[in-house]
A and B are shown apart, each in its own frame.
Chain A
């Protein structure tokens, strides 16, 4: 009984964890399903069909490729712009600093649907053709704030004396930035970029408003919820999950080895 009381928080935590993981398990299991009819919601029989032919449904892999492409460009754009803004905010005192901070914070405190709708009114008013470019513009816009926040945290914790030391040791401004500032800020920049990639790749609401007839992967899944869900969606979902886990594990292993070598 006292054991139960002592470990109550552990049990509650593990239940939450199960709640978080459960849908992923369902996605995994149902990627081996062979559904009757158009929807993959009820278990029928085991099958490897979908795994043998993940691109077997029309447009699925095309939308996936498009999403990856947009995510890559949006990450690049948001990271470059975000790093510049973050450095300006941390390193310089200037007028309008608090206004800039507020402008960075607001997109994160705004429901996506509001940003999506207002951006669409802009594009409609300007007569901009909706498609790849409008999606990219929107994604860079909402990823920017997250990159700024991640990089800012890292740069803020950086000792300004490190850069002064580099300057003192004959490194000019460019050398100082490349040899000292960038390597030390790198974890923050990487975190920001990773977040931007994940946000962009998985974004649905803003894309839904500003995509026109262009179909990204989340848009494809959304459409399939109306038309019929091919098993291949689960295959791709599971594969993404597996790849992500493997990358994280590989990163941890390399990190551990580095630590050991350093010792």
Chain B
């Protein structure tokens, strides 16, 4: 199904190399008009370079950028109907808020800017701050000036480069909702670059997960989360348990697997691996797994995937309890249990049975690095 609207952003075969280093491998991407689109990845994955190529601040080595039917690849940034909210905002320090917001209008020769600027400042709730200088504003206020300064030009696309990176957690949550509200209100296409997977999932309609200069997977946040296609996506978006297994036949719509001695089931439709023989990685999200003490093993219903193991560690975090289970087939298996009725028998050292609905499993190609994406998450958390 193709919905070919006039305002889509289309990147075709676009790439960027600096000397020997390839920042972005040739990539094709379509951002539908009016959508909130996120480019998600760890630092250095090429997401910002991609954004800057759309803005015209970076010249692609190959390929072209199209806005609707118009090829803008050769246009300098000041001739593109695209505006950017820069990382750390890049507000002009020598101009006040009003003049910052009016900058784009004035450069395009708009004579009466007062009304428009006033309306825009009202939209971002900064009407009373028009004559302040940027350094007299708080981080959140500066961020809104940056958004207003870009939006007032009614760009076909608004590009946001880590717009919330400099804000503290509470303010970031607030601004996420705020940005989403503004996007819905103005209906402009937003392309949002972020390394924060939660931010991407809360705000965007479509997320492209980038890694090493390539798009790993693209889709709606729920699709990416429920059905990751690569180990990177599985680990980078939330947490996944990846169990090394082998294909062991087929039964109707299900593929039969074996991890160690344990038989497991995977719906054919949820198999992301190309092959249906040989090794495979079976993935399952921690919150989909149930946990019972080994003595209650009989209570587990039939038809569920099950593994045995013993509790290595538990940590209580209020809404849930997180367990780390060592299973013979998978060390460090994580399980999140909602804090409804806590089973006091689940203490470190206890033998347990893990079980889950096979329909929640996903299969991944076993030739990939099983830890891809998880290290970068830790790195970002530490930074």
Asked if A and B form a direct contact in the complex, defined as CB atoms under 8 angstroms apart, the reply is yes
Residue in A162, A164, A169, A262 whose beta carbon sits within 8 Å of that of B107 in the complex: A169
Taking A161-B87, A167-B57, A262-B133 as contacts, is the C-beta distance between A184 and B93 under 8 angstroms? Answer: yes
Return the CB mask of B122-138 against A: 1 if under 8 Å, else 0. 00000000011100100
A170 touching B108, Cβ below 8 Å: yes
Residues on B with beta carbons closer than 8 Å to the beta carbon of A161: 86-88, 90
A170 touching B92, Cβ below 8 Å: no
Residues on A with beta carbons closer than 8 Å to the beta carbon of B117: none
B94 touching A184, Cβ below 8 Å: yes
Q: Does B76 contact A (CB under 8 A)?
A: yes
Q: Does A223 contact B (CB under 8 A)?
A: no
Q: Does B316 contact A (CB under 8 A)?
A: no
Residue in A167, A179, A262 whose beta carbon sits within 8 Å of that of B77 in the complex: A167
Taking A161-B87, A175-B107, A262-B132 as contacts, is the C-beta distance between A168 and B77 under 8 angstroms? Answer: yes
A169 touching B132, Cβ below 8 Å: no
Contact-size category for B: 20 to 34
In the complex, residue of chain B having the shortest beta-carbon distance to the beta carbon of A172? B78
Minimum Cβ distance to chain A for residue B159 (Å):
8
Q: Does B55 contact A (CB under 8 A)?
A: yes
Residues on B with beta carbons closer than 8 Å to the beta carbon of A180: 92
Minimum Cβ distance to chain B for residue A71 (Å):
28
In the complex, residue of chain B having the shortest beta-carbon distance to the beta carbon of A176? B78
Q: Which of A172-197 contact B (CB under 8 A)?
A: 172, 175-176, 179-180, 183-184
Residues of A in contact (CB 8 Å), total 20
Q: Does A166 contact B (CB under 8 A)?
A: yes
Q: Does A165 contact B (CB under 8 A)?
A: yes
Q: Which of B72-100 contact A (CB under 8 A)?
A: 76-79, 82-84, 86-88, 90-94
Q: Does B320 contact A (CB under 8 A)?
A: no
Taking A175-B107, A262-B132 as contacts, is the C-beta distance between A167 and B90 under 8 angstroms? Answer: no
Q: Does B306 contact A (CB under 8 A)?
A: no
Q: Does B153 contact A (CB under 8 A)?
A: yes
Q: Does A45 contact B (CB under 8 A)?
A: no
Residues on B with beta carbons closer than 8 Å to the beta carbon of A262: 131-133, 136
Q: Does A80 contact B (CB under 8 A)?
A: no
Return the CB mask of B221-233 against A: 1 if under 8 Å, else 0. 0000000000000
B90 touching A164, Cβ below 8 Å: yes
Residues on A with beta carbons closer than 8 Å to the beta carbon of B150: 168-169
23 of the cross-chain contacts (CB-CB < 8 Å) are: A161-B87, A161-B90, A162-B92, A162-B93, A164-B84, A164-B90, A165-B84, A165-B91, A167-B56, A168-B55, A168-B57, A168-B82, A170-B78, A170-B107, A170-B108, A172-B76, A172-B78, A175-B107, A176-B78, A179-B103, A184-B94, A262-B133, A262-B136
Binding site for B on A (CB under 8 A): 159, 161-162, 164-172, 175-176, 179-180, 183-184, 262-263
A-B pairs, top 7 by smallest CB distance, nearest first, are A169-B104, A161-B90, A170-B107, A165-B90, A167-B77, A183-B94, A171-B107
